[in-house]
Amino acid sequence: MTRDRNFEQLFDYSSQDLVHLFKLSPKQASLLFKYLNYPDLVIREFETYKRLSPITILSSEYPNSLRKIPDPPLVLYWQGNKQLLNSLKISVIGTRQPSPSAQQKINVLLDPLIQLNTTIVSGLAYGIDIMAHRYALEYHGSTIAILGFGFNHIYPVQHKKFFQQISKEGLVISEYPPETRPQKWHFPERNRIISGLSSATLIIEAAERSGTMITADQALEQGKEVFVVPDSIFLNQAQGCLKLIQEGATPLVKPEEIVHWVHENASILLDENA
């Protein structure tokens, strides 16, 4: 992108050029060279690209909040309402094995956010993620699901109905092409988009060693506000939250506290998204 922003010279490069210019291995360069010199395949891929109309980092539609993170995704595949990218967004995340009181925490804290037209961002995973999406859908709020796979390989399969509903009533986003199957490393990669797209991250519950803690670290690295819900020292699902409080995250005890934060920061945050 630095040398040739619109990739106009790409088809003129030899296999050796690709090795030197893009730091590819000889095998990677050879595969890319063959791909670029297979016109029928390139045309077919271009037709697919036009049909899907992904948002690239070169597009004016690309969210400014993502441009500012250290490793922004270059391409965003999407289905649903793109206008939600311009809304005030808070990510709501947590453990895949929530405690019996987790739903009550979500009910109390998400209700005022939805009343303020705040978009709930999460990752369509088991546990807190899907509970947050479901609450937003049930109470006519806005929600964005960030995926760690392509649209044609929904994981977990049990959440396909939520994927379909969010595609119609909210927005789903993935940096992976539709035929990409889920892989373990995709989910930590996806987490940087969850935190990066959002103005703040709200952690409902988290074990001390978990993907949620990775997202919290990424949010802090990105300069985002991190709210956590404290709970008993004897609750495993509270250990990550308590550790984050020790490290300087903001404990959230009453819903009024996050409402106050949204009111104080709404105009600044919306300007950043514009």
Number of structural domains in the chain: 2
Q: Is the pLDDT of residue 79 over 90?
A: yes
Of these ranges, 63-72, 146-155, 202-211, the one predicted with the greatest mean pLDDT is: 146-155
Residues 76 and 148 in one domain: yes
Residue 149 is part of a domain; what is its CATH number? Answer: 3.40.50.450
Q: What is the pLDDT of residues 107-122, one digit of tens each?
A: 999 999 999 999 999 9
Same domain, 246 and 126: yes
How much is the pTM? 0.89
Please give the Cα distance from 216 to 221 (Å, whole number): 9
How confident is residue 274, by pLDDT bands cut at 50, 70 and 90? low
**Is the per-residue pLDDT at 176 higher than 60?**
yes
Question: How many angstroms separate the CA atoms of 175 and 120, rounded?
Answer: 19
pLDDT of 174 over the 70 cut: yes
Q: What mean pLDDT comes out for the span 175-188?
A: 93
What are the tens digits of pLDDT across the range 216-237? 989 988 989 999 999 999 999 9
| 223 shares its domain with 149 | yes
Token readout for 172 is: 């789903």
Domain that holds residue 40: 10-56
The stretch 210-221 carries a mean pLDDT of: 88
Among 152, 157, 188, CA closest to 172: 152
User: Residue 269: inside a domain, yes or no?
Assistant: yes
What CA–CA distance (Å, rounded) separates 101 from 148? 27
Structural element, H or E, at residue 118:
none
